Amino acid sequence: MTDLSALPPVGARTEIPILRERGQREVFCGLTGIVWLHRKMQDAFFLVVGSRTCAHLIQSAAGVMIFAEPRFGTAILTDRDLAGMADANDELDRICVTLLERRPDIRTLFLVGSCPSEVIKLDLAKAAERLNARLLPRVRVLNYSGSGIETTFTQGEDNALRAMVPLMAPTDEKQLLVVGCLADVVEDQFRRCFEALGIGPVHFFPPRRAADPPPVGRNTAVLAAQPFNGETIRALAARGATMLSAPYPFGAEGTTAWLAAAADEWEVPADRFAAVTAPMIDRARKALVRHRSHLAGKRVFFLPDSQLEIPLARFLHREMGMEPVEIGTPYLDRQMVAAELPLLPVTTTLSEGQHVDRQLDRLRAAAPDLTVCGLGLANPLEAEGLATKWSIELVFTPIHGYEQAGDLAEIFARPAERRARLRV
């Protein structure tokens, strides 16, 4: 286990005061999740039913693929479609059937709702039902909302996964289910780790093939790999699964505590746990030390964006010696961060939601060494002289687990290093 004596003491925050704000917010919508979900599930296609704005967002976030046929697209509703919703339904069915004829590799089609008013009037659940009657068993059609009115940034993943839960076969087998999209390389590392600890069988959700979701049942222990899949985990609990409470696997300490939650459930002997994890902890710590000198003692401010803010602030505070001035989160799901909250320093302000002008006032008054924020705010804040880090980079880069701990620290250390070089 991590030597906790070397880390800051656990904060005594049992009832955390939370600053709740409801105002204008600067957060991506849930469509963004398609960027990493389409890479993960190789047999799935994500069809956004939306406007040109949605198409533009998803194309610029995912990049335009020239050499590969993309597994996402946008069915753009125009004024003509508003003439009659029956026509719009026919048009949607026609687009889906044409797409699936052209792409026989697609086994699961996600219809993703967005927020223009004409899209909201379309019943995508009914459209999925209609198409399933035509297309099953070759292709299954699911639907979820990525609308900016209903979802923030990472909630799109939660909605997509929750839509898949009813497809999971029942099982009574004791098994571990890791929930949250991880890069394949990270998934393989964790799989080897669980194997060495004698924990299994282990399934990952989302799976690499959407058409083969893992089973679930009353002997399923769920370990969350991402803090934003609360609705999915509650849907799994309704199928009998139990959530293991643990911090998220960021940094050496977080990863050890995360693995320990599964090890406790499988009653892995302490000496076996220590023998398996010690070399990896050692490597991770050595990788972290390289960046600590750039980060220790520095003050960091998180604006709400990805839902990763709380676990990442905990990592930066406890393992890198940073002081989180304010941790903003789009929404606070207490069940999902129950093991994280007591690890935050008592001096931090925890804010939920956003009133962007007020938060920017607090940010300027605090003048932190590093601000973690969305793309839209980063450039203006840089122009004001604040060092920033794009939170989207933390979602797109593999940062979980021991082997990635150094890369994670480097993401935060880079702006500080760059500034230090510019000052020379």
Site for ligand SF4, rule CB under 6 A = 29, 31, 50-51, 53-54, 57, 114-116, 146-148
Find the angle CA(17)-CA(258)-CA(159) to the nearest 5 degrees: 70
Between 147 and 154, CB nearer to ligand SF4: 147
Between 51 and 226, CB nearer to ligand SF4: 51
Find the angle CA(125)-CA(336)-CA(407) to the nearest 5 degrees: 105
Residue at shortest CB range from ligand SF4: 148
CB of 372 to ligand SF4, least distance (A): 22
CB of 139 to ligand SF4, least distance (A): 24
Q: Extract the tokens encoding 29.
A: 């919508």
Between 57 and 186, CB nearer to ligand SF4: 57
The per-residue DSSP string of 355-394 comes to -HHHHHHHHHHH--SEEEE-HHHHHHHHHTT--EEEHHHH
CB of 325 to ligand SF4, least distance (A): 29
User: Helix-strand-coil percent breakdown of the chain, rounded to 5?
Assistant: 45, 15, 35
Between 56 and 418, CB nearer to ligand SF4: 56
CB of 47 to ligand SF4, least distance (A): 13
Between 60 and 219, CB nearer to ligand SF4: 60
CB of 38 to ligand SF4, least distance (A): 16
Q: Extract the tokens encoding 303.
A: 């604006």
Between 45 and 301, CB nearer to ligand SF4: 45
Between 29 and 139, CB nearer to ligand SF4: 29
Q: Extract the tokens encoding 290.
A: 């390289």
CB of 127 to ligand SF4, least distance (A): 17
CB of 32 to ligand SF4, least distance (A): 8
Q: Quick one: residue 399, left, alpha or beta (phi over 0 = left, psi -120 to 50 = alpha)?
A: alpha
Q: Are 241 and 223 spatial neighbours (Cβ–Cβ below 8 Å)?
A: no
Residue carrying the six token digits 């209609």: 130
What letter would DSSP give residue 87?
A: H
Q: Are 158 and 232 spatial neighbours (Cβ–Cβ below 8 Å)?
A: yes
